[in-house]
Amino acid sequence: MTRMSITNTPKTATIDDAGLVGRTLARAFDDDPMMRWFFPDDASREAGLGRYFTTIFTRQYVHHAVCERTASAAAFWVPPEAQAKAVPDAETIRELLDILGDRAPLFKDAVETAAQHAPQEPHWYLALVGADPAAQGQGHGAALLRSGLAKADAAGLPACLESSKPSNLPFYEHFGFTVREEFQLPGGGPVLWSMRREPRHPA
């Protein structure tokens, strides 16, 4: 029987993990339709994504969300009591606009559109989960998803997310998510699928 690698056991991500988290998520989201919409240049995408994810992690999520990582993946979960705080402040927005350059208006429109479609009920929100493609199939993303869902289940609350990558939908459906809504980002942007999972009673 194969032993599960200790490297895919979730642990809390701290500010000291910013470099690892940024690099991991940059590689994980390189082929994501929404991130390619924001960072269309192949040559500079990885660097831009690295700056983007490092910024939102260090300035936003590490302070107001449940951030976990493995050796090759990271996930940011926002519980309902933190959702009002886990939004970019003015300085973070300035940094993001600088990183996004002329794509900043598209980013702003995307954020506002997604907010209009966000569920209003209390829920645990999966802001993102991503695994380095080099570690694909080793259970890193699944381990982080299970960890967050266990917390949502313990609170008796649904879990929600948006995905812009259709090939990821079966992965989330395997964990009990169903598509709640499908909508397109303005300006010819990609389609997003809003997904929801009912709470389960711990076994």
**Side chain identity, residue 49:** L
Cα distance between residue 95 and residue 137, in whole Å: 34
CATH class of the domain comprising 6-197? alpha beta
The pLDDT score that the predictor gives to residue 147 is 97
Domain ranges of the chain: 6-197
Element (H, E) at 174: helix 169-174
The pLDDT score that the predictor gives to residue 175 is 97
The pLDDT score that the predictor gives to residue 136 is 85
Cα distance between residue 137 and residue 140, in whole Å: 8
pLDDT in tens, the chain (203 residues): 344 456 789 999 999 999 999 999 999 999 999 999 999 999 999 999 999 999 999 999 999 999 999 999 999 999 999 988 878 888 998 999 999 999 999 999 999 999 899 898 999 999 999 999 999 889 999 999 999 999 999 999 999 999 999 999 999 999 999 999 999 999 999 999 999 999 998 65
73, 132 Cβ separation under 8 angstroms:
yes
Element (H, E) at 76: strand 73-78
Q: Is the model's pTM score more than 0.75?
A: yes
Element (H, E) at 84: none
The pLDDT score that the predictor gives to residue 203 is 55
